[in-house]
A and B are shown apart, each in its own frame.
Chain A
Amino acid sequence: MEPQPRVESEQSDYQNSEETKEIKAARSLELEQSLRNFSGSTRFGQTEIGKPKVGFPSYKVVVPLSLSTSLVFDLFKNACNKHKFQISEQTQSSITAEQQPSSSIRNLFSCIVPISEERKSRNTSEVKLLIAVNERACTRVVIAKGSSGVPNKILPIIQTFRDALEKAIMKEQPSPLERSSRMPSEWEEIEPVLTSKLESSSYYQFSKVLSSQQYGVGKLVAEFIEKFNDDYEDLVEGAALVPKPLEDVKKIIEETVEALFTHFNLSNTSSQKVMQFCRPAVERYIYSKLIKQLLSMYGLKYQSINQRFQDRRDFFHTKISQELMQSLELKQKYRLNSSEPPYIQAIETLNSIGIQHTPLGKINCLLQTATLMKTAVVDYWKGKEELETMDDQLPVIIYIVSQTTVQDLPSDLNFLQDYIHLGFGFDNEQRLLINFDGAVKYIADEWNF
């Protein structure tokens, strides 16, 4: 893709003014100096901008979860073998392959002359494959990238790998002919949009497999739960190890999903429909067994803020809504002065976070709370007003959080923060979580009523 021409506005002569040019020139000069001297970083990032360094080829693609990690690994290994790269390191989610430089007089010389290891390693071409699971979208993100050596040697591997992966993806998807010829069988109902019958029955199907000791995967999960309970029997010790317990849970979820996708009969069309709920179902099953223990550990770790928040909230519960809103300097139009308590639906929804048994359930609860908060405003003003800017939203969120009755909200939010940080693909949810977390901190430590 060609770089787009910079948009020049007629009115933006200021940007092209002598002063701006002067700054740019000064910064370029600084940059050149810093590059020449290899000096340490300066305070502001802009002064560090350099000429683009060597770029290595890389390839990123999103694939369905049904394309197992082991299959992707195999394709990558084949590509490496084909181009004479050797696997130097492999973890559960990554592979590193490298190719030592071929014999030459220069290399022989480098063996005799003392050259630093770092410099030697620069001659080795290295390519990495990274696989991450986007838990929110239930997809796998595959990244293959060169990290050192000669880009032209790395490129063919990535090309071969890409072609093989694309073929594998095509294989996964039914052909247009297959799609058109597939008619719903007698027993197969078309899933109505408004209910989640298929999701519920999928959850049941997976629970049957996971709870059964006769399946390898069920045994794996049962053993993990037992081990987890033993390892973290002492909650205080477990609290000190946080977020390790959560990492353990996430690891077993990945393994279980992987195993289910590898061993289930995916050629069956009804299985395909069920498999889309595989990851959420596994997560729901495993967390439902362990969430109490996990949250207790977080409760102990964040005991102090839980207590401060609780004390302040109890105090705010003795005040009337309009007083609190006044104190938060909410704009009059967002105070929603009516017969029922303002933002009551959002408050009730946030209260239900305590009864959710999975992190995703809790995150959805926060999303729903934020939506109901905004809906309350448009509903009250019959669509004439909207709660849009963060300047306006944050005080309302603080008010809503101050009105909840849910136990240990601060530690629950910290649990969700760790869940999101350990995961992938939760950018938007993270923003939301930060708003609620900020509200909790404000109530616990900042709000001078």
Chain B
Amino acid sequence: MTPFRHDDRSGPFTHAPTSVRDTMRLVMLALVPATLFDAALFGWPAIDLFTVTILSCLAVEAGCLWTQGKPVLTTLGDGSAMLTGWLLAMSLPPWAPWWIGVLGAVFAIALAKHLFGGLGQNVFNPAMVARVALLVSFPVPMTAFVPPKPLFTEVAPGFLDSLSITFGHAFQLDGMSAASALGMVKTELSRGIPASQSIETTPDLVHMLVGIRPGSFGETSVILILLGGLWLLHKKVISWRIPVTLMGTLFVLGTLFHGINPEHFTSGLFQVVSGATFLGAFFIATDYVTSPVSRSGQLAYGVGVGGFTWIIRSFAGYPEGMAFAVLLMNALTPLIDRAFRPRTFGRTRSGAPLPQPPRTMP
């Protein structure tokens, strides 16, 4: 008997200190600043919903794993369900009722993830499937945004009040709701008020960048999301390709059409800083499982998400198009992966061996 392990395993016999768990943790860590900011901005009801959504995701994941006979605790420990819950919560109106979070968890984890085969097998981004399914099914609570009501200020509900908002019926839509900037422009356009005019009533650039504006829980602070995104770039968890092409496309299309018709189209800058653009570009569209794996494919994908987002925002019935755009491009990801392959060493792009270069004989 040999004292050490011997089998016919191929190398390498060393491994980078990487794991799925670490990756998920890094992404969640990157979300912390933006999350804390919006938790403070929207107060206890937002924190309640955030907690409910994540716990529901973990519970649904555990249930799905258990019914399939897969290991429950180790898989829960990889953090993927928690991250899905986190991202879902960040895409919900902060004062939405508890059942939105619970239903969202079922859509995201059971429907979008486990029905497709679990981690790594899903075609569509689970958080976005849930958001879109909720938005289509329950348009009223899913578009009921609140103006900022920072924690510990007079306008903010206390913890006990928050419980009745999240779990009861205390949230009265008429009295408290506010429109997101994108929503406002869309509504006004439909009433015949040009975008160039309605844009005046949206929060100014500084408020948009800092994040003091109505919006989904977690999407408001451009600066803090950018901070998290840059950190992920630095840590090489994500690459620049999808965020840059996505926002670039949105900016270029926005600027171009704003130049042509400012009455109908908002500016490229407004397109980029409003809505879920930053959150989507850095944290949603970059989801590993549902985005292309090759570099060129990622560029194409980013352009696609940016393009579809702009089209939906500008022409469709919904004010925000990021989630739809992501899902549309998710569906195209297998095709993109097939069409955009890296060039193989020693071969041309079409796969034929490189031609032998002419040689000058010495």
A and B bound?
no
- B residues with a Cβ closer than 8 A to A are none
